[in-house]
Amino acid sequence: MAIYLDYNATAPIRPEAREAANAAMDLLGNPASVHAAGRAARALVEAARADVAEFVAVKPASITFTSGGTESNALAIESGVLAGFERIILGATEHSAVAENARAKSATVEVWPVDANGVADLDWLAAALARPGKALVCLMLANNETGVIQPVAQASALVRDAGGWLHIDAVGAVGKIGIDFNALGADTMALVGHKIGAPFGIGALAAGPRSKLSRLIHGGGQEQGRRGGAENVSGIAGMAAAARAATRDLPKMAAQAQWRDGLQARVEAVGAVTFGAAVPRLPQTLGFAMPGYESTLQVMNLDLAGVMVSAGPACSSGKLKPSATVAAMGREDLAANAIRVSGGWASTAADWQTCGDVWLAAFEKHLARRQVV
> Closest by alpha carbon to 329, among 370, 277, 294?
277
Active site residues per annotation: 315
Q: Which amino acid is at 360?
A: L
- pLDDT tens readout for residues 62-91: 999 999 999 999 999 999 999 999 999 999
- What pLDDT does residue 317 have? 42
pTM of the model: 0.94
pLDDT at 316 over 60: no
pLDDT at 54 over 70: yes
- pLDDT tens readout for residues 194-225: 999 999 999 999 999 999 999 888 998 899 88
When mean pLDDT is compared across 98-107, 183-192, 258-267, 289-298, the lowest value belongs to 98-107
- What pLDDT does residue 370 have? 79
* Span 44-54, average pLDDT: 98
Confirm if 328 and 93 have CB atoms less than 8 A apart.
Answer: yes
pLDDT at 279 over 70: yes
> Closest by alpha carbon to 302, among 348, 344, 360, 358?
358
- What pLDDT does residue 371 have? 75
- pLDDT tens readout for residues 320-358: 678 999 999 999 999 999 999 999 999 999 999 999 999
Length of the chain: 373
Q: Where are the alpha helices (DSSP H) in the chain?
A: 15-25, 36-55, 69-82, 96-103, 122-129, 152-161, 181-184, 233-248, 250-268, 295-304, 324-328, 349-372
Domain 3-11+250-372 has CATH 3.90.1150.10: yes
Task: Enumerate the CATH 3.40.640.10 domain ranges in the chain, comma separated.
Answer: 15-247
C-alpha–C-alpha distance, residues 38 and 177, integer Å = 35
- Which DSSP string corresponds to 256-300? HHHHHHHHHHHHHTTT-EESSTTS-B-TTEEEEE-TTS-HHHHHH
C-alpha–C-alpha distance, residues 312 and 276, integer Å = 15
Confirm if 80 and 165 have CB atoms less than 8 A apart.
Answer: yes
Three-class secondary structure of residue 230 per DSSP: coil
Beta strand pairing call for 203-207 and 165-169: unpaired
C-alpha–C-alpha distance, residues 166 and 102, integer Å = 13
Task: Enumerate the CATH 3.90.1150.10 domain ranges in the chain, comma separated.
Answer: 3-11+250-372
Domain 15-247 has CATH 3.30.1360.40: no
- What pLDDT does residue 265 have? 98
pLDDT band at 28 (very low <50, low <70, confident <90, very high): confident
